[in-house]
Each structure stands twice: as C-alpha cells, then as structure tokens.
A and B are shown apart, each in its own frame.
Chain A
Amino acid sequence: MQLFRAFLLRLATTAVTLIGVAVIVFVVIRVVPGNPIAMMLPPGATEADIARLTAQYGLDKSIPAQFLIWCQGVVQGDFGTSITSNQPVLRLVLGRLPATLELSIMALVIAVVIGGAIALTGTRNRGTKVEAALDVGNGMALSVPDFLWGLVLILIFGVLWPVFHISGRVTPSLELPFTTDFYLFESVLRLRFDLWADIVSHMFMPALALAIPLAAIIGQLLKQSLKETMHLDYVTLARTKGYGENHVITREALPNAILPTLTLVGVQFTFLIGGTVIIERLFSYEGLGNMAIDAVINRDLPLIQGIVILFAAIFTAVNLIVDLSYALLNPRLRHGQ
C-alpha cells in the first residue's frame, strides 16, 4: 500500500515536471535568436511576405497565446505540425523513438556486459596486475567522450577494417517486412536473422561508442561494491563452507553489491539516451537525436518542443521505473522499513 502511494505521488510529480519542461522549452526556443521565418525567406521577400509567413505558422501571436493554443492541441494528442517537413510532430517523433530506444537499450546491454565483466574480473583478480590494467582501461574509457569513441570506431571498424556499417540503420536495398518501427526486436520475432545481422551491423558502432563510458562507470562502481561486500561476515562464512571464489563472488556477494549499480544504471540510462543526439548525428542513425539536431538547425519550433517533451517523458519514466524496481528489490523498502 505504501509502495502504491509512493507510485501515485511519483506520477503526480512527473506530470508537474513535464508541464514545467513544456513551459521552459516553449519560452526558451522563442526567446533565443533565430527566427524560423527569417531562415526560409528567399532573396527579395517583402515585409508583406514576412507577415504572411509569420501568420501562416502561427508565430504572429504572443508567446502565452501560442502556448495556450499548443496546450489545447496537446490535450487532444496534436503536438502541432513540423515547419520543415509539414508532417504531424507526434507521428514524426513516435516514428523515430523506436530507433533511439533500440540503440539505447543495445548500448545499455553492451555497457552492462562489459562493465559487469570488468567488475567481476577485477574482483576475482584483486591486487594483481590484471586489476591494475583494468583500472587503467577504465580511466581511459571514462576520459574520452562518446563521440570521440565514435570517430575512433569509424576509423577502425569502418575504414581500416570495414566490418560494420558507418551510417544508417539498415541497408537501403533490403525489403523490410516489419509492421512496427522496432526493427531489431521485430526481426528476432519474425526469425529474420539476416535482417537482424544487418541491423546489428549498423547499430553496433554507435551503440558501442555510447556504451564504452557507461561500461567504465558500471565496472568501477560494481567492483568497488563487490570489494566492500567481500569483507562482510556472510561472505566469509560462505568461504569457510568451502565454496569456490567464483561462487562466492557471483552467488553471495553480487546480489547485495548490485543494488547501488542498478540505481546508477537507471540514472545513466537517461544520460545515455541524451548522448544519442551526438552519436546518432555522427553515424547518421535515423533516431530522435538526429532529428533533434535538424530541428534545432532549422528552428523547427513545434518539432523541437515535441522531441524535448518526449525526451523528458522518457527520462521521468525511466527514473520512475528505477525507483520502483529498487524498492521491489530492496527488502527494507519493500516492507516499508
């Protein structure tokens, strides 16, 4: 019951957060320099042309009036029409969301696998050169931003040893039988592993570039938690019972040590989605981030609003899920202690 009440409270704060984000974004993108009408004026446009275009895109009204009109539309599921593509914003952002989600999830999986392996290997080899080498590698992974990893990966796996695709999400010549935009998941469900391999070969480099810094963070934190747990009495007891070191680490220490990492992964996942903006651009990956940059360059105000609101919704939803799963996994919180 306490958990349910906490859930309702979080839902309410989430709604307030989203409204706050909407207000801020709406005002900020109209206040910063860069008028979308000025950008589309051809040579020779007159004052009358400027007034006509301004009115056509509803930008002749005051900012509060524009905001109210936009809110009325949002309540009815209409987030406006993109200035550059003349398409409904909701359709555009929902069409691109699956690509970004799949990329983020793949990056997360890679980060967890690599980070987990680093932590377990480091814990298993405490105080040895292996641990020192892993720490050095971790430091390097953390100190280089994801887009630079992207460039390095392009050079290695795109040019010198071209085993992965450099740009796009899928090979244009392939016929896609998909009914949803979740290409990766649907290819598995349809048992089309030829398409799955093609999609993975497009996603791998951007996902790895996103994953490397996160993997280092996970590896560092989980290793630290494991090392602390390894000194606790119940772990010592397990050792005295004759369990091997691998069993002690994975079965006894890991379940307790993983909780702080889980929280971190949740928080970092939201940053990871934010990181897709640059990475998607670099790899010309057809996700929300790539679309967001074009929207900003073209001052496509309705599209910027839609994308930011969607990003904000994802961030709050992920945080909510993390908090709930933490509460479910932590017995003290689960029983309201």
Chain B
Amino acid sequence: MNLSRRSLLQLSAATVAAGAFGLPARAQAIDELVIAYNVNLPAWDPTVGPSAVNPTLQGIYQSVFDQYILQQPDLKPAPGLLTEWGWNEDKTQVWMTVREGVTWHDGSPFTAEDVAWSLARVAKPETGSPIQFVWGTLANHRVEGNKVIADVAQFDPTIFKWMYFLTGYVLPKAYYEKVGAEGFEAAPVGTGPYMVEKFERNAFVRLKANANYWGGKPEFDTVTIKFVTDSAARVAEVESGNAHVTLEVPYEEYDRLKASLTGTAAPISDIGMIFLNDIEVMSDPNVRKAAVHAIDKQAIIDRLLGGYGVKIDTLETPQYDAFDASISVPYDEAKAIELLAASGFGPDNPVKFKIQTTKGFKPKDYEMIQAIVGLWRKVGIEAEIEIYEIAKHYELRGADTLAPAAFYNWGNSVGDPTTSTGFAMFGPSPHSVWDGEDLTAMIGPLWGEKDEAKRIEGWKAVDRYIAENALVIPLLQYVQPILSAPGVVVTPHASGALLPHLMKRA
C-alpha cells in the first residue's frame, strides 16, 4: 500500500474526526448528500418578496416546489405540473392541462384548483408579487375538469415562459389558506422532489426525498444544504469532505481541486456586459464603436478567467431563442483608432469618460474593467474607474443616472429576448439607460407580436442594430464552476440553479 503525504493526512484526519467529533469526512458511500451553497435562504415563499426574484435561490425553491412548466437543463421547457398549454385561436384565452396523480408533500391531492388559485393570487397587486405586472396580464382564471382557462387581459407572448421563470411556482391552495403566510413560512409544502425536514435560517435546510414525486424519487434520500457564503469556507468544506458538492468557487481553486474532486464547468445564462448611457461622449457613435472594437474579449477570458467564459457579441447567449451567430463585432484595434480619429480623438488627445463597476460581486469583475481600461488607453480612450456596490447600480440604473459606461451582469434563465435585450435596451424600461428613439421604435411592436417566428426574427434584427451601432458592450457568458466528491455526478443546469434531484451516485 502506497501512502502519500496527502493520503496520510486524510487518513489521520478522518480517524481523528470520526473519533473525536463524528465528522462526516470523505464518505465512501454517501447516504446524506451535503451541499455547501453560496447564499442564505431568507424566505420560503417563492412567489412574493425580494427572495422570489433572486436567481441564486431558484435551485432551492425548485427542490421543494414545482414550477408550472418544467425547465430542462438546456433551458428548454418540458411538461411539468402542466402537461400541455397554449392559446386559443385568436389568443384571447390561455389554456393549461394539469397533470393528474400528483400529491402535495402533506399527502393531499394536487388539482387544477391549485394552479388557478396560484395564478390568480400573484395577479393581485396586494399579494406583493414582484412579477405582478406579468401575472396580471391574465384574468378570470377558472377550472374546467383538469384544465385551467384564463382570459388574456393583455397579450404577452412570453407568459408561458414566465411559468418556468421567476415566481412561476404552484403553491397549495387549501394548505396555504389554512395556515396562512406565516404558517407556510414555518412549514412549506410543495409538490417538488424534496420535502423540507428542518430549516435553520442562515444555517442550513435539510431535505427528505419525496417518494411520491411525479418525476421519480430522487437518488439521494436526504440532502442537507448548508449556507456557506464565504468562498474560502466553501472550498474548505469540499476539500475536507464535510460537503460533497459546492459551487461558485474561484476559478483558481476550481482548477486546483478538480484533479482530486470532480469538476463541472458549464456556461450558464448569466452574462457580463457594459451598459452605455446615451449621455456625454457616448452620444458619439464613433466613440462607442471604438470602445467596442478595442476590447479583446477572448484575451480577457483566457488570461483573467482561466478560459472559463464564452465571448458574446449580443445580449443573447447561444442557448437563447434569438441567438444569431452571424452577428459579430470583432476585436480590431486599428479600426478603433480610426473611428476615434474621425471624431478628433487619439492616444495624444484621448476621449474621457467614467466607467462604473462592482468589485468582487462577480468573478474578476474589477480586474476585467481594469484590463478593458488598459486596452482602451492604447487606442485613445481614457476611462476613470468608479467602484460601486450592486445596490447603488440598481438605484442609478432605475433613475437613468448611470455613468457613460457601467459594468453589470445580466441573468436570463428563461432565454427569451424580451428578458435580455428587451428589458436591458428598451428606453422606457426602468432597467434600460439607452433612450434612443430608433431602438424604442424597433422594440415597441415586438412586445405584443403574436407570430412567434416573426417575433424572434424581430429581436434578431434588434440585436443586429444594437451591435452595428454599439449601443451596449456584451462581454462574456459566465461559466459556473461546480465541485463534487468523486461519488457524486452533478448535472449542470444552464439557468445556474444547482438542483439536488439531478445529482446521481457515480
């Protein structure tokens, strides 16, 4: 038997741990799956409050609750609690067929009433759903057998996509009405693959497999999700064997540990981008185009992110419905110099503006902006970096007072162009800082376009227009690093949700 220094350390550690405190150490057979999760779960109701629209919490919610429509790991929809859905001929009504034979965690039967009630509840402004503006486009929800029908108050082509997006969860009507919001918070009940056994806020949630799950019983009977918000501590948790799976660790640590653990690094629906506000020098198309052409995105991904990222030239990633591979904005330093010269700028007479960025909110965010500022300097752009908190970004963006350039990350796990290009670039949206009338006129008709093929083509044209006129700077699609113990196989989900029921034994 060969004993390396590492294995000797591990052996002694496991012996001491087991003897002294009964630590799990690196288990040979995993009975209880332990996940070191990167955020705390503040609240259980996935349909109201700030937590409901926090993308990082959706993995936990989807473990306990089902969405109306299932979203597969490649972001595509599949039958879930709804087996079929659609509009009537003139698109004045929606219809949904409800899966039969499903039970809630408390044993009561899941019915079409639950679906109708859940949709009607979040459509009411007083419920406090942050997505009420979407759910409110349906009205007069009613049950006909195992079908739910609702009238379309305002046509939204993405309504069914929201049914597997933020707040698109079905809650138990009878149970919720019996226990109220507080009771539901204390003992949440869903139809999902796992049931909540124990929850300690800021500490952990312990889940038990739902043996009656309509999609089949999950592989691991017990899953403990520990909330470990510090990335160094998460690395230590998996390295020591205290946890079997973790995510969002620094890429350097991922590279170091993937030899001894199992590593999964797949692109997710989260992009890094730079908002351009149409103020000051950003009103000059030459400056904007030069700023885009001067950035060598691939070099930034390779050198700063260890290759973990996918270069993008529009706000659509390859998984999104309106992705168009023919839209490309190449790195071209000479062209950037030429464009700036046409506006009277150059390395000796640089154009000046401010760029805002977070620092540490996303992997290497500040370092990326530093690198971009360095690239810009070479062509004649002098950008001053201002660091801000993400909370300030939201406030400034809402008030349309961002700096001429501002780094941000945009998530769009539903993959529709409305929730990426649409909301980010449509002038009247509180999330957009580009107010150009041309673009607003192009986007406006697409919100209510009933012909799906025409709608997607319309968004592709919008993306092309944005790229040609450099109205925003898309940088990269993020890659999510997941580390797991050798005995666990993780299926990554392109939404970024870490889902225990998709984990199997090796």
Which residue of B181, B204, B240 contacts A86 across the interface (Cβ within 8 Å)? B181
A263 contacts B by Cβ under 8 Å: no
Residues A255-284 near B (CB distance < 8 A)? 281-284
- The CA of A166 and the CA of B232, in the complex, are separated in Å by 10
| Chain B residue, CB-CB nearest to A57 | B128
B392 contacts A by Cβ under 8 Å: yes
Asked if residues B230 and A42 are in contact (CB atoms below 8 Å), the reply is no
Task: Choose among A52, A158, A167 the residue with the greatest number of B CB atoms under 10 Å from its CB.
Answer: A167
B237 contacts A by Cβ under 8 Å: yes
Beyond A33-B389, A166-B233, whether A84 also contacts B42 by CB under 8 A is yes
Beyond A173-B206, A282-B232, A294-B40, whether A38 also contacts B13 by CB under 8 A is no
Total interface residues on A, using CB and 8 Å?
63
Which residue of B20, B128, B166 contacts A201 across the interface (Cβ within 8 Å)? B20
Residues B174-205 near A (CB distance < 8 A)? 181, 185, 198, 200-204
A87 contacts B by Cβ under 8 Å: yes
Total interface residues on B, using CB and 8 Å?
73
Asked if residues A298 and B240 are in contact (CB atoms below 8 Å), the reply is no
Beyond A162-B13, A162-B241, whether A168 also contacts B391 by CB under 8 A is no
Asked if residues B23 and A38 are in contact (CB atoms below 8 Å), the reply is no
Beyond A38-B394, A41-B394, A43-B419, whether A166 also contacts B236 by CB under 8 A is yes
- The CA of A107 and the CA of B357, in the complex, are separated in Å by 38
Asked if residues A282 and B233 are in contact (CB atoms below 8 Å), the reply is yes
- The CA of A162 and the CA of B25, in the complex, are separated in Å by 8
B residues near A151, Cβ cutoff 8 Å: 232
Asked if residues A281 and B229 are in contact (CB atoms below 8 Å), the reply is yes
Distance (whole angstroms) from the CB of B384 to the closest CB of chain A: 18
Distance (whole angstroms) from the CB of B495 to the closest CB of chain A: 15
Asked if residues A46 and B133 are in contact (CB atoms below 8 Å), the reply is yes
How many contacts A-B (CB < 8 Å)?
Answer: 202
Residues A126-155 near B (CB distance < 8 A)? 151, 154-155
- The CA of A270 and the CA of B41, in the complex, are separated in Å by 29
Beyond A41-B394, A50-B430, A284-B227, whether A84 also contacts B131 by CB under 8 A is no
Asked if residues B21 and A197 are in contact (CB atoms below 8 Å), the reply is yes
Asked if residues A284 and B391 are in contact (CB atoms below 8 Å), the reply is no
- The CA of A162 and the CA of B6, in the complex, are separated in Å by 13
Task: Choose among B9, B128, B430 the residue with the greatest number of A CB atoms under 10 Å from its CB.
Answer: B430
Distance (whole angstroms) from the CB of B72 to the closest CB of chain A: 22
B344 contacts A by Cβ under 8 Å: no
A residues near B22, Cβ cutoff 8 Å: 171, 198
Task: Choose among B232, B239, B240, B423 the residue with the greatest number of A CB atoms under 10 Å from its CB.
Answer: B240
- The CA of A35 and the CA of B398, in the complex, are separated in Å by 10
A286 contacts B by Cβ under 8 Å: yes
Which residue of B185, B226, B390, B391 contacts A87 across the interface (Cβ within 8 Å)? B185
Residues A158-172 near B (CB distance < 8 A)? 158-169, 171-172
B499 contacts A by Cβ under 8 Å: no
A residues near B200, Cβ cutoff 8 Å: 169, 172, 286
Beyond A41-B431, A45-B133, A96-B202, whether A165 also contacts B23 by CB under 8 A is yes
Distance (whole angstroms) from the CB of B118 to the closest CB of chain A: 18
- The CA of A173 and the CA of B197, in the complex, are separated in Å by 10
Can you give 6 contacting A-B residue pairs, CB < 8 Å? Answer: A33-B388, A34-B389, A41-B430, A42-B130, A44-B133, A294-B42
10 more CB-based (< 8 A) A-B contacts, given A34-B389, A44-B423, A162-B16: A35-B394, A38-B395, A39-B391, A44-B431, A85-B201, A86-B48, A160-B9, A167-B36, A282-B233, A286-B203
Q: Give residues in B with beta carbon < 8 Å to A.
A: 9, 12-14, 16-17, 20-23, 25, 32, 36, 40, 42-43, 45, 48-51, 53, 125, 128, 130-134, 166, 181, 185, 198, 200-204, 206, 222, 224, 226-230, 232-233, 236-237, 239-242, 388-392, 394-398, 412, 418-419, 422-424, 429-431
Task: Give the 8 A-B CB pairs with smallest separation, nearest first.
Answer: A34-B391, A43-B423, A40-B50, A33-B392, A38-B394, A286-B203, A84-B42, A85-B42
